[in-house]
Structure 1
Amino acid sequence: MDPAIVWIDAHGDVQTLETTESGYLGGMALRLLLGYRADLIAEPLGLRPPAPERALLLDARDLDAAEVDYLATAPLRHRTLAELSPGDLPEGPFLLNLDLDTLDPAVLPGLRYPAANGPGESDLLGAVRIIMESGRVAAVNLACTWHDGGPPIAVRERLIASILEATSDRKGE
């Protein structure tokens, strides 16, 4: 079965070179992964992008107008963390991409790209557990950018430890 993607992020990451206002490559990451401008990355590396209908974007509450327009017509599915159910997850193996900026900035201070009104740690960990209990996660990518100094190291260590624990708590294993 073809691979799939579950992408958790406060942002859509579906900008293009034509729509980005910042030029920030991270704002295009999911779109590039799904085959936009395959000549730039996928083809030179010999990669075949997954079909957009095999991707699930979770949270993405901080969207630019171009991203809203794209998501309104794209086969890429978009849900909030609170809406997530096991039936939303793509069939077969998938990559879980988790950008910690999905958390509310009060939970993780110092984020480089904070987005207000995000979920708390327990809501995020609950979603990660639902995803991991599927038994179909083939790889996990953990991402986050923060300003120099960023959140206190104890906050980062505790949060990352909680996420790693949630990603290793698979039922039946």
Structure 2
Amino acid sequence: MIVDAPLDSSGAGRGEERAPAALRRAGLRDALSADDDGQIDEARLRDPVRDPASGVIGAAGLVRAGGAIAARVGALLADGHRPLVLGGDCAILPGICRALPPGTELWFVDAHPDFLDGATSPTGEAADMDLSVVTGHGPAAAVGPDGTLIAPSRVCLLGHRPATDESSRVEAARIDPAIRQVNAAEVLRRGAARVGAGLAADSDGPAWLHLDLDVVDPSDLPAVTYPEPDGLRWADLVALVTPLARADRLLGMSVTDLNTDEDPDGHSTRRVVEVLAQVLRG
């Protein structure tokens, strides 16, 4: 069941906001033979001002958007659907996690740990801090309710790059030690298919898969806002994510951070559709 959450946490209406519509125009629904639950209209942000108290851009709007995302995803899960939530950027994750049952495991595939907060983020975008928020280490202003939505010990961070500057070193130092980490280099060293299959079989209980497309090396996918070198190639991503996306215990999946501003001819968008079809349908 496809549902759009076109949230761009910069508040400036960047290309991430237009990604769900672009993926649909490129044939994603037909490629997946998926049902359609439309768009979460409240999952938008039109406030580029950084809140002085929390350090988060558009804090009040984020709370409203997160509540709307939580309500829609919760309703889909209650009706027995397996949602595919199309972002927007990673700021959609706290709203999704509010809808998940206790004990859910989070497979977080991203070039960045997203473990900054309102004080340490250089941008103030909630997409800098979504994983810290859902594990209880970020500002509640980015989600609404206080507290931990996903236990750190139930999180696996996959495909991120090593720290290279002061900001990323600060971020790396903030990551909860209970979170399992397999960075991009380690995924490639161990074999992406082996890492994915092992994780899918590693424990029981429900799971959610979050895929930030900037985990892909920019030589394969340049159409992202914050590209990072030395990432996974398309074949590596497919090998890693396929066993996770097809796991019986998977509740649903979110896909974020395709920036259509960086894809004027639509080539990257079409490639994302092809890859998602390969991962989800074979």
TM over 0.5: yes
- 1:159 is the counterpart of 2:272: yes
Distance 1:106 1:57 in 2: 22
Counterpart selection for 1:43 from 123, 141, 145: 145
Compare CA radii of gyration and give the structure with the larger one: 2
What are the within-5 Å matches in structure 2 for residues 15-26 of structure 1? Answer: 15-26=116-127
1:88 aligns with 2:199: yes
* CA apart distance, 1:27: 0.9
Of 233, 246, 249, which aligns to 1:120? Answer: 233
Provide the residue aligned with 1:78 in structure 2: 181
The residue correspondences of 1:64-75 to structure 2 (distance < 5 A) are: 64-71=168-175, 74-75=177-178
User: 30, 43, 53: which one pairs with 2:153?
Assistant: 53
Gaps of 5+ in 2: 1-101
Q: Superposition RMSD on alpha carbons, in Å?
A: 2.4
- Distance in 1 (alpha carbons) for counterparts of 2:231 and 2:264: 16
State the distance in 2 between where 1:85 and 1:39 align: 31
- Tell whether the 8 Å contact from 1:12 to 1:62 is kept in structure 2 after alignment: no
TM-aligned CA deviation for residue 94 of structure 1: 1.1
Equivalent residue runs for 1:106-145 within 5 Å: 106-145=219-258
Consecutive unaligned residues of structure 1, counting only runs of 5 or more, are: none
- Percent identity between matched residues is 23
TM-score, structure 1 normalization: 0.83
Q: What is the distance in 2 between the residues matched to 1:151 and 1:5?
A: 33
Alpha-carbon distance in structure 1 between the residues aligned to 2:157 and 2:272: 22
Please report the TM-score for the alignment, with normalisation by the length of structure 2.
0.53
The number of residues matched between the two structures is: 166
**Cα gap change, 1:134 to 1:10, in 2 (>3 Å):** same
Aligned residues of 1:62 and 1:115 also touching (Cα < 8 A): no
Higher strand share: 1
